[in-house]
Structure 1
Amino acid sequence: MSALGSMGRGVLRWDDRSPVGGWLEESRMRSRGVAVLAVLVAAVLATGVGAAWLLPGPADKSPEEVAADYFAAWNDGSLDKMRRLVARPPEDFADQHRALSRGLEVSAIELKPRPVARSGPDTAQAGFTVTRDMLGRGTWSFQAVLRLGRVGGRWRVLWSPATLYPGLKGKGTWTWREVTVPALTLVARDGKALPEDGPLEPYLAGLTDRMEGEDDTGWAIELRDNGGPPQRLKLFDVKTGKKVRTTLDPRVQAAAERAVGSQEAAIVAVRPSTGEILAVADGLGGLGAFVSGYPPGSTFKVVTAGALLAGGMGEGSTTDCPAVVVTAQRTIHNDENHALGRTALRNAFAQSCNTTFARLAVEELGAKKLAASARAFGFGERLTPGVQARAGSFPDPGSGAALAEAAIGQGRVEASPLLMASIAAAVADGSWRSPRLLEPKLIREGGGRTPEPRPIPGVGDLRTMMRAVVTGGTAARAGLPDGTAGKTGTAEFGEGSHAWFIGYRGDLAFSVFVSAGGSGPKVAAPLAARFLRAASR
């Protein structure tokens, strides 16, 4: 202990053994000295920071000197000296340091400070690298920052738990944990981690099952911040698993998951220019968005319109849209029996006239041309996303009533949300591509045969027609963002109907499906609007 001051005949010294610090009188003090000391103590209690000059610590030292003293004390393991250099140290200051050392069995510590950088007249900071030796497990190094500030006229260390470990906010609990590291880890397109649970789980498991590798076992440093969830900070005695990038976009995935919520529904998003799957929000269960088959309803009119355009019609060609039509001995109704009379093909598509497309399929197209268009859009094709998938079915409808039903996506026509997203992407890009979750090379290594892209005839007119659906057709009131094009669908089954909306905006194509959701325009299209707004933020 060193003398810090005297008062009369009494000499005051700082007591390092005191948990809060204190002044001790080493000799007798006259009554006047006692009175003055009482006044000074009262000043300390009353003014707090303002009386910091009375506290023990470096007198008139620069922040560089204070930082050097703090690092020297830390290197020596002198927690008391460190504490005296800190402004307002927490009561468990020493305990927080000991918790790390004891929890991780630290045997030695080395600090390498960098020069102090002043950020203002009263603030400064010094970056440093800390390396700890841990018994039998190796070393652990990371960078942190020591913050300093002028308090009560003197430079002090502004300590927080983040001084001990970056980002730490409360009291840390440090432990070793035995862990198993998978041979490979699937990550997002940007290299960041993907959620291990939620709607993506079966899709990631399906991808992993198709790739070879052996898991490894080792040890990890685990941190709980103030009792929070465990955070894995560093692996030891284990080889880091291979990271495999998927095509998934975390921002688009999060937007799709928020839009679907807890509904029995699905959103699949695809990049039209590449076929990359950007998001799969699947509330159908398992791989439902890829393997399930549902009648696509009026979204299939994209395929029927594609066949009509390939046969010579244009988006401005005139046609009829009566409320009811009888074709091939099958009576077809429009929704709510609406009628447009004589109108452009574009308008019949935008208002989703069942009567128009059923009659044209029977009288103008025939089963072969409609089937050819279905194949061009992926029906019957082997989809190769990297996991199990269903391409949809378009059984030969013949030339009768089944053909009229098939033209409007009913009867025996079935499709998955994945396939319908690829159809929207084909219109956006001009070519149909098999959607994928991995790079083509990895798809091939897994035994997948990715078909070559196929050009879509009449795609310019199809884009105009799908745009008309949003600007003045069945999706005009859905709140879709500017630049969206699409097609609504209400697919009947048994006593109910599924709700569909497929579309694209820029280089983002998608399908929205709500099982037993009812109306495509009233349910699926507004859901698509919520998804697109969230994805564009």
Structure 2
Amino acid sequence: MRYRGVAVLAGLLAVVMVAGLVAGWMLRPDKDADTAERVTAGYFAAWRNGDLEKMRGFVTDPPASFAAQHKALSDGLAVTTIELKPGPVVRSGPDDARVDYLVRRNLAGQGDWSFTSELRLGRREGRWRVLWSPATLYPGLRGDGQWAMRQVNVPALSLTARDGRPLPDDGTLAPYIAGIASRLDAAEEQTAWAVELRDDGGRPQRVKLFGVEKGRKIETTLDRRVQAAAEKALESAPERAAIVAVRSKSGEILAVADGLGGLGAIIGRYPPGSTFKVVTAGALVADGSGAGTAADCPASVVTAQRTIRNDEDHALGRTTLRGAFAASCNTTFARLAVEGLGADRLAASARRFGFGVPITPGVNAVDGSFPEPRNGAELAEAAIGQGRVEASPLLMASVAAAVADGSWRSPRLLSPKLIREGGGVTPEPRGVPGAAALRTMMTAVVTGGTAAGAGLPNGTAGKTGTAELGDGRSHAWFIGYRDDIAFSVFVEAGGSGPKVAVPLAARFLQKPR
């Protein structure tokens, strides 16, 4: 009996010890209170309860205007209720994660407004925190947003894809649909309400229309399958990004997956980096060079008292224009522009590719900017898409389309007749001399250059770009074409074009269409 009692006591002690160990493990903060999942759950719970101070507590380095930005949206749009549906936590590394979420707000007297956004998380000093930016509140928002409901007059119409099927009036296409409706001059107008956004004091953008009657049917150029493929590819983008696709032979816009916010893919101007070498190569070819013309690619070069370096100081030595283009040799194109082309011939090539030409897609858009270089140093920078050269993702997609087709065409979302109805004029096509040589160069980028080995499907040609911003950050670019679809992939402050933008293009092109 004595041994039996000892055994029972030992068993009880073991149970107590195990229970204590389990309880202790469950209470460890790194296993329980501080996981990406629990931080996400706490953040959304506080948001549902309207507890902005508690939300702020989950954020690393929250801006002073954190609460004010949330209140500006709620007060400006008279939000009565908010519904939040977060998806699962998706990890992109041991210390980084994201959560896609659907937010639906009821706007007093108007109805529901919903869209999908993204919550980013990271482990900072051993703790999971929300990495908040204005884009968390609304996709693409960069600064303090000013929100308002405006009564507007718009045509009584419904917009469809090219196959006649309806387009969604929410998501990233919503600002484009609202913009098209606002510009068309229909026989019957109706009064509607619009959600209007000013991003950090910028131009107002209509991002949602309420109470629009479905009258006249307007067919756009958008292709639902290509749009779906672009949106799906963009889901894996590491930063604010956009994918634009156009039909090379007509300039028709097939897809605009815009994660830049509002009409960012067509009104945002960014340095194009090395994707602009398509324009510079176009000037060289028009001046008599060919893909096999001899060229030098040193690691660095001094031209016009400006030192130009290649990425990671790579060098090819004596090569061809095709080889320098495929390897994206800054030194080659900067020196050839300064010592051979001159500003006038480079500017003429830029105009042939749509820079400085009014773009009329059927909504507000900006043209590309190629200011006249004031000296040789600026010319060297312009030749590699830096300095004061700027373009939108839409324009750079049209640059790729011009190479594929042999003529530059203004990209458009509507037929030329409807664009005229909206007060626009479609520019005449512009021939691109030596397009066959440029196609050879862009093919070499994919088969053995900076875009090789990234999973791009056969038949793809393109040009990578990494546009330096001067603060250690870079925009990531990749433009190109496959068959009759030309495209532009842009990731704002995303880093390397070959490492970031090219894989997104591969995902887009490999989707069934």
Match of 2:224 among 240, 250, 258: 250
C-alpha distance after superposition, 1:354-374 (max 9, x if no partner)? 000000000000000000000
Q: What is the aligned partner in structure 2 of residue 425 from structure 1? A: 401
> What is the distance in 2 between the residues matched to 1:388 and 1:216?
21
> What is the distance in 2 between the residues matched to 1:359 and 1:194?
48
- Residue 378 of structure 2 aligns to a residue whose secondary structure is helix
> What is the distance in 2 between the residues matched to 1:473 and 1:240?
50
Match of 1:308 among 269, 275, 284: 284
Runs of 5+ consecutive residues of structure 1 not aligned to the other structure: 1-180, 218-237
Question: Following superposition of structure 1 onto structure 2, how do residues 231-310 of structure 1 map, counting pairs within 5 Å?
Answer: 241-261=215-235, 263-310=239-286
Please give the TM-score of this superposition, normalised by the length of structure 2.
0.64
Q: What is the aligned partner in structure 2 of residue 331 from structure 1? A: 307
Q: What is the aligned partner in structure 2 of residue 70 from structure 1? A: none
> What is the distance in 2 between the residues matched to 1:216 and 1:305?
50
Query: How many angstroms does 1:512 deviate by?
Result: 0.2
- Residue 199 of structure 1 aligns to a residue whose secondary structure is helix
- Residue 200 of structure 1 aligns to a residue whose secondary structure is helix
CA contact (8 A) 1:366 1:399 kept: no
Return the letter of the residue paired with 1:364.
Answer: G
Q: 1:531 to 1:239 in 2, by over 3 A?
A: closer
- Residue 456 of structure 2 aligns to a residue whose secondary structure is coil
Q: What is the aligned partner in structure 1 of residue 323 from structure 2? A: 347
> What is the distance in 1 between the residues matched to 2:214 and 2:171?
24
Question: Following superposition of structure 1 onto structure 2, how do residues 405-424 of structure 1 map, counting pairs within 5 Å?
Answer: 405-424=381-400
Runs of 5+ consecutive residues of structure 2 not aligned to the other structure: 1-153, 193-211
Return the letter of the residue paired with 2:177.
Answer: L
CA contact (8 A) 2:183 2:422 kept: yes
C-alpha distance after superposition, 1:52-79 (max 9, x if no partner)? xxxxxxxxxxxxxxxxxxxxxxxxxxxx
Q: What is the aligned partner in structure 1 of residue 502 from structure 2? A: 525
Q: What is the aligned partner in structure 2 of residue 499 from structure 1? A: 476
Q: 1:191 to 1:524 in 2, by over 3 A?
A: same
Return the letter of the residue paired with 1:189.
Answer: R
| More moved, 261-270 vs 198-207 | 261-270
Match of 1:362 among 338, 342, 348: 338
- Residue 171 of structure 2 aligns to a residue whose secondary structure is coil
- Residue 374 of structure 2 aligns to a residue whose secondary structure is coil
Query: How many angstroms does 1:239 deviate by?
Result: 8.8
Q: What is the aligned partner in structure 1 of residue 451 from structure 2? A: 475
C-alpha distance after superposition, 1:2-47 (max 9, x if no partner)? xxxxxxxxxxxxxxxxxxxxxxxxxxxxxxxxxxxxxxxxxxxxxx
> What is the distance in 2 between the residues matched to 1:283 and 1:239?
28
Please give the TM-score of this superposition, normalised by the length of structure 1.
0.61
Return the letter of the residue paired with 1:214.
Answer: E
Query: How many angstroms does 1:494 deviate by?
Result: 2.8
Query: How many angstroms does 1:195 deviate by?
Result: 1.1
> What is the distance in 2 between the residues matched to 1:498 and 1:299?
11
Q: What is the aligned partner in structure 1 of residue 79 from structure 2? A: none
C-alpha distance after superposition, 1:486-524 (max 9, x if no partner)? 000000003200000000000000000000100000000
Match of 2:168 among 195, 200, 209: 195
> What is the distance in 1 between the residues matched to 2:214 and 2:409?
34
CA contact (8 A) 2:303 2:338 kept: yes
> What is the distance in 1 between the residues matched to 2:439 and 2:319?
18
CA contact (8 A) 1:367 1:398 kept: no
Query: How many angstroms does 1:398 deviate by?
Result: 3.2
Query: How many angstroms does 1:242 deviate by?
Result: 1.2
Query: How many angstroms does 1:196 deviate by?
Result: 1.2
C-alpha distance after superposition, 1:144-188 (max 9, x if no partner)? xxxxxxxxxxxxxxxxxxxxxxxxxxxxxxxxxxxxx97100000
Q: What is the aligned partner in structure 1 of residue 66 from structure 2? A: none
CA contact (8 A) 1:216 1:239 kept: no
Q: 1:329 to 1:444 in 2, by over 3 A?
A: same
CA contact (8 A) 2:155 2:181 kept: no
Return the letter of the residue paired with 1:247.
Answer: T
C-alpha distance after superposition, 1:84-106 (max 9, x if no partner)? xxxxxxxxxxxxxxxxxxxxxxx
Q: 1:413 to 1:240 in 2, by over 3 A?
A: closer
Aligned residues: 336
> What is the distance in 2 between the residues matched to 1:239 and 1:528?
37
> What is the distance in 1 between the residues matched to 2:316 and 2:287?
23
Return the letter of the residue paired with 1:506.
Answer: D
> What is the distance in 1 between the residues matched to 2:491 and 2:474?
9
Match of 2:370 among 394, 398, 407: 394
Q: 1:467 to 1:241 in 2, by over 3 A?
A: same
Return the letter of the residue paired with 1:391.
Answer: D
Which structure carries more relative contact order (alpha carbon 8 Å, separation 6+)? Answer: 2
CA contact (8 A) 1:362 1:399 kept: no
- Identity among equivalent pairs (%): 75
Q: Which structure has the bigger radius of gyration?
A: 1
- Residue 426 of structure 2 aligns to a residue whose secondary structure is coil
> What is the distance in 2 between the residues matched to 1:454 and 1:494?
34
Q: 1:239 to 1:524 in 2, by over 3 A?
A: closer
Runs of 4+ in 1 over 4 A off after TM superposition: none
Query: How many angstroms does 1:216 deviate by?
Result: 9.7
> What is the distance in 2 between the residues matched to 1:494 and 1:240?
48
Return the letter of the residue paired with 1:528.
Answer: A
CA contact (8 A) 2:477 2:491 kept: yes
> What is the distance in 1 between the residues matched to 2:376 and 2:330?
16
CA contact (8 A) 2:334 2:383 kept: yes
Q: 1:341 to 1:442 in 2, by over 3 A?
A: same
C-alpha distance after superposition, 1:213-233 (max 9, x if no partner)? 33499xxxxxxxxxxxxxxxx
CA contact (8 A) 2:450 2:498 kept: yes
| More moved, 182-191 vs 198-207 | 182-191
Question: Following superposition of structure 1 onto structure 2, how do residues 73-222 of structure 1 map, counting pairs within 5 Å?
Answer: 183-211=156-184, 212=186, 213-215=188-190
Match of 1:372 among 348, 351, 365: 348
- Residue 340 of structure 2 aligns to a residue whose secondary structure is helix
